[in-house]
Amino acid sequence: MSSFLFDDKYRIHRHLSLQAVILLITIGVFFDAPDRLNLTLNRFFGWIGYFLFMNMLVYFNAFVLFPRFLAKNKIFLYIVSVIIFTLFALFIMMLLQEYFYDIGVTHQEPTVVAIFFSIASSLLAIFLFLGGISALLLFKHWMIGNRRITELRSATTQSELKFLKSQINPHFLFNMLNNANILVDEDPDMASYILEKLDDLLQYQLNDSVQDEVYLKDDIKFLTNFLELEKIRRDKFDYRIEIKGDTDNIQVAPLLFIPFVENAVKHNSSDDSSYIYMSFELQQGELIFVCENSISGIVRKKKEGGLGLSNIKRRLDLLFSNNYLLNQTKTDTTYTVNLKLKL
């Protein structure tokens, strides 16, 4: 049922079901009484008008009024728009009744009181019908939001677990702890430095990153610690992180950039001279992240085509919908990621 209501693949089925419901609502115009069917040509044209009128109420509200006003929390403008649209719909209904007069139960001249109650009941019916449509749309909007949140949490958890397994794995920790152990006597300051960076790295990974949002400066510190430890492991590795603009109060999803850095590290050979250059720039409400890394000949031959980042793309879709732009450029010697996020 949930898939039928919200998945795009059932879009046509939903419209057909709606048409069936409208057909059941409007087909009653062919009956003057429960057991007396009226199939005159005038009554048929009246039914077509009534059927199109009901479709107008549904689709104009669903595709114009609701997304433009109510979905954006412009409640006052939505109410005003519904009132205007209702008056217009009432005018259309009166024209239908005028041209297809035999839809009415009686043909005698109505009194003022009868006209008032007829107009009032028609207005109320239109209001209730529009209200029911809006309630269904709000419910759908709420359900889609909940589904996106659930999917986002699942994708975030999977991303974090994947990172823990691929980067903060026993092999990585063993190497760093072994380095620190060797340096305890030779260079105790360096050994202490390694352990301090490891402590910061794990503290962030296991504690801070479980939050929905973290400060960008904390995420950058995490990336710096990670790259600093990589630099200790390698003899020919360099990195640079540049920050442009006032980013102190900017908050982002945790572990948002580490997949790009992980990807950059993975495609650098430890035998060749390699580098990773990153920049974070705040510009007119957009955060621009650039990550460039070298690609060695060995990695290029062994792991050609292994630069895909489908998981992070999925997470970006869930986090930012259409409010981001991701470009990836690859040459024979470099790989560059350019990510723009609307904050």
pLDDT, tens digit (0-9, with 9 covering 90-100), for 17-57: 888 988 888 887 777 666 677 787 877 888 888 888 888 88
Q: What is the spatial distance between Cα 254 and Cα 163, in angstroms, rounded to a whole number? A: 12
pLDDT, tens digit (0-9, with 9 covering 90-100), for 261-319: 888 887 776 566 789 999 999 988 899 999 999 887 655 554 444 444 666 787 788 78
Residues 6 or more apart whose Cβ sits within 8 Å of residue 261: 223, 226, 227, 276, 278, 291
Grouping H, G, I as helix, E, B as strand and the rest as coil, residue 74 is coil
Across the chain, mean pLDDT equals: 78
Q: What is the spatial distance between Cα 93 and Cα 96, in angstroms, rounded to a whole number? A: 5
Mean pLDDT of 172-185: 68
Of the listed ranges 112-121, 241-250, 300-309, the one predicted with least confidence: 300-309
Domain boundaries, the chain: 2-149, 167-342
The percent of residues above 70 in pLDDT, for the chain, comes to: 79
What confidence category does residue 338 fall into, taking pLDDT thresholds of 50, 70 and 90?
very high
CB atoms within 10 A of CB 279: 15
326 strand-pairing partners: 339
Q: What is the spatial distance between Cα 63 and Cα 200, in angstroms, rounded to a whole number? A: 50
For the ranges 113-117, 170-174, 221-225, the one whose mean pLDDT is highest: 221-225
Q: What is the spatial distance between Cα 40 and Cα 37, in angstroms, rounded to a whole number? A: 9
The tokens of 105 are what?
Answer: 């139960």
* Sign (positive or negative) of CA dihedral 93, 94, 97, 99: negative
CB atoms within 10 A of CB 82: 21
For the ranges 91-100, 160-169, 190-199, the one whose mean pLDDT is highest: 190-199
Rg (CA), the chain: 32
Mean pLDDT of 201-228: 82
Assigned CATH topology for domain 167-342: Heat Shock Protein 90 (3.30.565)
- pLDDT score recorded for residue 201: 75
CA 15 from chain center: how many Å?
24
Query: Would you say residue 176 has pLDDT above 70?
Result: no
- pLDDT score recorded for residue 22: 86
What's 271's DSSP letter?
S
What confidence category does residue 324 fall into, taking pLDDT thresholds of 50, 70 and 90?
very high
For the ranges 88-97, 231-240, 242-251, the one whose mean pLDDT is highest: 242-251
Q: What is the spatial distance between Cα 316 and Cα 110, in angstroms, rounded to a whole number? A: 62
Query: Would you say residue 187 has pLDDT above 50?
Result: yes
